[in-house]
Amino acid sequence: MENSETAAETSAQPSTDHSTALLQQLGQLLGEGGVRTQPDAVMPDVILRPRTTAEVSAVLRLCSAAGQALVPLGGRTGLANGHFQTQGEFGLSLERMNAIEEIDTENRTMTVQAGCILQVAVEAAEEHDLLLPMDFGARGSATVGSVVATNAGGNRVIRYGMAREVVLGLEVVLADGTVVTSLNKMLKNNTGYDIKQWFIGAEGTLGVVTRVVLRLRPSPRSQCTALLAVDSFGALTSLLRMLDARTAGTLSGFEVMWPEFYSYVTREGSLHRPPLPHGSAFYVLVETLGSEPESDAERFETVLGEAMEEGLVSDAVLARSQSERNALWEIRDDVLEFFKLGPIIPFDISVTLDRMEQFVDDIRVGMDTLKDGVCVVFGHLGDSNLHLILGSKKPEEFDYQALCTLLYETVERHHGSVSAEHGIGLSKREQLGRSRSAPELQLMRQLKTMLDPKNILNPNKIFAADTLTAG
Amino acid sequence: MENSETAAETSAQPSTDHSTALLQQLGQLLGEGGVRTQPDAVMPDVILRPRTTAEVSAVLRLCSAAGQALVPLGGRTGLANGHFQTQGEFGLSLERMNAIEEIDTENRTMTVQAGCILQVAVEAAEEHDLLLPMDFGARGSATVGSVVATNAGGNRVIRYGMAREVVLGLEVVLADGTVVTSLNKMLKNNTGYDIKQWFIGAEGTLGVVTRVVLRLRPSPRSQCTALLAVDSFGALTSLLRMLDARTAGTLSGFEVMWPEFYSYVTREGSLHRPPLPHGSAFYVLVETLGSEPESDAERFETVLGEAMEEGLVSDAVLARSQSERNALWEIRDDVLEFFKLGPIIPFDISVTLDRMEQFVDDIRVGMDTLKDGVCVVFGHLGDSNLHLILGSKKPEEFDYQALCTLLYETVERHHGSVSAEHGIGLSKREQLGRSRSAPELQLMRQLKTMLDPKNILNPNKIFAADTLTAG
């Protein structure tokens, strides 16, 4: 839907003759299956598929010399169009670099090539009774490299942090082909600047991540899950604080659904039976991951009982089995259902808890002025992260720009973040200045220009090419 | 002891006339008490003491124009000489910027000026029943700014992470005086590059941190502490894994003392009674911070009982009161005692757990060749972080260079880190290449040159001035 944003800014590309010569060189370098060309308008026309870090390095050297733009590709399910290929840009897929190189049970680390699918890595850790805690909807398509490149968040950030907190080391290939191998396995390592931080969340604009060392945790032995009804936003934040304090270190989920979300997903004729009746102000899916199944369950119920006595929770249902737990999560995860309502936009933002209620009210007021508007709110409240689905039940009333303006102006007014966990990519590029000041943006551009002076790595993502100072 | 390292490299300083004019300007700018000059050889001769971020910015603008080097000063208790002032360098102390600007109980953040003493900030959080989890020996002298600048670690990293994990936002003044205000309070904020990461752990070489937003946690309601005797390194790592898995999310300390540490600190005539008899291979201080005092204590004892049954623990003593707990920690914290043994060097390194036993053996073998050597080992095993005290009982036998060579060559051979939590400063600068590759160092130097082209910010720390590529 954002393709229009890029229509006017096809990067300066080498001429066709040069491209042909470059493609021949790349073909020789990468061997059979190494270069895929798909000469149709919908799919990108060239995808390079190196098998080793050395090949990635050689690809970047050649492309750098030729001024050829590259778009690093992961699962291509990101929601900010960070993986979008403009005409003439080559895709760089690491799908043939998908090995799990090592699971080190002694040091509790996993060393994995960037093309490995997240779910494959998670399951490999599970086989050693270890937890790779990154988890979100696209787990079956996202690659570890793209998880790192977007600093992905998800469902367990409140307990284990974002991707940044899970990455101990990485290997990255710079725009000029330089390989920087920084595969640290140690929790503490204060030897100069922590350069891996530069590349985490940089959306492939500063380098191509080729290998990653991830921190693994002991597998949880208990999981307690409940769906709660809550009557007010004040009760919601008190409940969050109470659970955080009373389930020390184990609270892993605090997923809030505003009533429109819950009542629509569990409406009559939907796939889900409502575990709690409609009509409450908020529904919260809470979960702990602990170590002692019996006593953890007892504690969980005790704390929830106290929360009810204190009036923080008005109704509750506890999952008594894995299938009941799955049923609760399926309600929370059934976001695709809202695409049935009409044309919609899924937004991903942060605002601090003290402003969140007013923020949502302001959005609602704005949406009220639209006829047949769709406004659905849910999110990871413990991380100050909301998702909003805004749209229209009538396609002819749908106004992409108006919805973006409403949403992002309100975020800016509440000093929020225009991207909590999805990144900037192309989709939010023009909004970045709402959350970052001119000096912050200037520093970012300086680093981009320093590391990729020819702007060949994912050009026009995060920053439009013409806003970079040097070339 | 490392002063010799800097004798040959006094940075190019402005002539005396220029310095006098600059000092006059700075004096006018900073007002009464703003410039301290102490014309003796021991203390640094000029210390600037701004009161606001605007004053820091003005100081940097003036010094940048004059090419005047500045050394940002915190508590000046760092162990890597990152705060060392060479002749002609001005100190920049933020001791007059020590306000706690806000404790936000709703969002659980603290906004604090960089000159605030860590312990003051910790106690201010406690007054709101919140925990600022950073804790280490120098808590009474270290400033929040220096904690951030060194990415400090300490005693609870296994549970709460390094300073990096506690910092949500910061404000930094660049070498040219540009103020970059990035006081984020949100847990998730993926809006472009996470520039705060560049300055955390940069030891004041990239900018002067002026304000910080810290993440606060609920205060723990239970604390379980025990001292355990363990017979082998294999049992030690198994115990760590077992406790990590069985005390889900609450394990906050796993502090190992090798026998020389324990037996010396608790020797006859020392301040400490030995809670467990001498003669074991290892002593471990373990601690959990939880939420339910009674049942946490029960769990803790159960798990330790099982560890004894499994043969992982040979003897144990549990703290039954706060004074007993204090007595156990005082043994672990009594590092100064070793200075009585003779001239010693306190080292701070990381090695992965699978190599740690061999690493210590290799150091011991090296020390055996020295007459009257001192070799004491302890550390935060859960963070792969060891501290080693190497020295000599006879001053005339003490060989600083030989001890450094033994230690750092052994670290390099085991792919360890020459600095776990103390930083590089001056003391470890020549060792940095043992833990970082040429491409990593090249990236670091590029960032330094980009942000501080005149090399006025803490020059010669981390990198010698003459190794920076541009000027």
- Name the DSSP class of B102: E
User: How far does CA B253 lie from the centroid of its chain?
Assistant: 16
pTM, whole model, 2 decimals?
A: 0.94
Q: Rounded mean pLDDT of chain B?
A: 93
Which chain A positions have a beta carbon within 8 Å of B441's beta carbon?
192
Domain range summary for chain A, segments of one domain joined by +: 8-94, 100-218, 222-333, 336-432
CB A411 within 8 A of CB A184: no
**Predicted confidence (pLDDT) at residue B453 exceeds the cutoff of 80:** yes
Class of domain A8-94 as given by CATH:
alpha beta
How much is the pLDDT for A185? Answer: 96
Residue A461 contacts B, CB cutoff 8 Å? no
pLDDT band of residue A469 (cuts 50, 70, 90) is: low
Residues 6+ apart with CB under 8 A from A411: A349, A351, A359, A417, A418, A434, A435
Token pair belonging to A101:
């190189």
Q: Is B399 helix (H, G, I), strand (E, B) or coil?
A: coil
- Topology of the domain covering B12-95: 3.30.43
* Residues shown for chain A: 471
For residue A338, the tally of other CB atoms under 10 A from its CB is 19
Assign domain A336-432 one CATH number from 3.40.50.720, 2.30.130.10, 3.30.160.20, 3.30.70.2740: 3.30.70.2740
CA distance A229 to A235: 10
How much is the pLDDT for A1? Answer: 35
Same fold for the domain at A222-333 and the one at A336-432?
A: yes
Do residue A416 and residue B186 have CB atoms under 8 angstroms apart? yes
CA distance A99 to A12: 35
pLDDT band of residue B166 (cuts 50, 70, 90) is: very high
CA distance B44 to B76: 12
Tens of pLDDT along A383-420? 999 999 999 999 999 999 999 999 999 999 999 999 99
Tens of pLDDT along B119-129? 999 999 999 99
Mean pLDDT of B312-322: 97
Q: Rounded mean pLDDT of chain A?
A: 93
How much is the pLDDT for A43? Answer: 61
Percent of chain B with pLDDT over 90: 85
Mean pLDDT of B339-368: 96
Do residue B194 and residue A151 have CB atoms under 8 angstroms apart? yes
Residue B295 contacts A, CB cutoff 8 Å? yes
A136-145, B81-90, B272-281, B400-409: segment of lowest average pLDDT: B81-90
Burial class (CB in 10 A: 0-12, 13-18, 19+), A128: middle
Do residue B186 and residue A245 have CB atoms under 8 angstroms apart? no
A66-70, A467-471, B123-127, B392-396: segment of lowest average pLDDT: A467-471
- Topology of the domain covering A222-333: Alpha-Beta Plaits (3.30.70)
Assign domain A100-218 one CATH number from 3.40.50.12780, 3.30.465.10, 3.40.50.1820, 3.40.50.720: 3.30.465.10
Residue B159 contacts A, CB cutoff 8 Å? yes
* Residues shown for chain B: 471
A136-140, A217-221, B460-464: segment of lowest average pLDDT: A136-140
Token pair belonging to A218:
């002991």
Q: Which of B153, B188, B435 sits opposite A420 (nearest CB)?
A: B188
pLDDT band of residue A42 (cuts 50, 70, 90) is: low
Query: How close B252 comes to chain A (CA, Å)?
Result: 10
Q: Which of residues 415-444 of B touch A (CB under 8 A)?
A: 416-424, 428, 432, 435-437, 439-444
Question: Chain B residue with minimal CA distance to A422?
Answer: B190
Mean pLDDT of B323-336: 95
**Predicted confidence (pLDDT) at residue B5 exceeds the cutoff of 60:** no
CB burial of B110-123 (b: ≥16 within 10 Å; e: otherwise) equals bbbbbbbbbebbbe
What sign does the dihedral B408-B261-B362-B406 (CA atoms) show?
positive
Tens of pLDDT along A247-258? 988 999 999 999
**At CB < 8 A and 24+ separation, what contacts does A434-439 make?**
A434/A408, A434/A409, A435/A411, A435/B189, A435/B191, A436/B182, A436/B191, A436/B192, A437/B180, A437/B181, A437/B182, A439/B178, A439/B179, A439/B180, A439/B181
CA distance B232 to A54: 42
Class of domain B338-424 as given by CATH:
alpha beta
Size of interface A-B (CB pairs under 8 A): 272
Report the candidate in B314, B345, B348, B319 with the shortest Cα–Cα distance to residue B331: B319
Phi-psi category of residue A372: left, alpha or beta, with phi > 0 → left and psi -120 to 50 → alpha: left
pLDDT band of residue B87 (cuts 50, 70, 90) is: confident
Query: How close A135 comes to chain B (CA, Å)?
Result: 15
A316-325, A330-339, A352-361: segment of lowest average pLDDT: A330-339
3-state secondary structure B408-421: HHHHHHCCCECCCC
Report the candidate in B2, B69, B392 with the shortest Cα–Cα distance to residue B205: B69
Q: Which of residues 185-204 of A touch B (CB under 8 A)?
A: 185-195, 197-198, 200-202
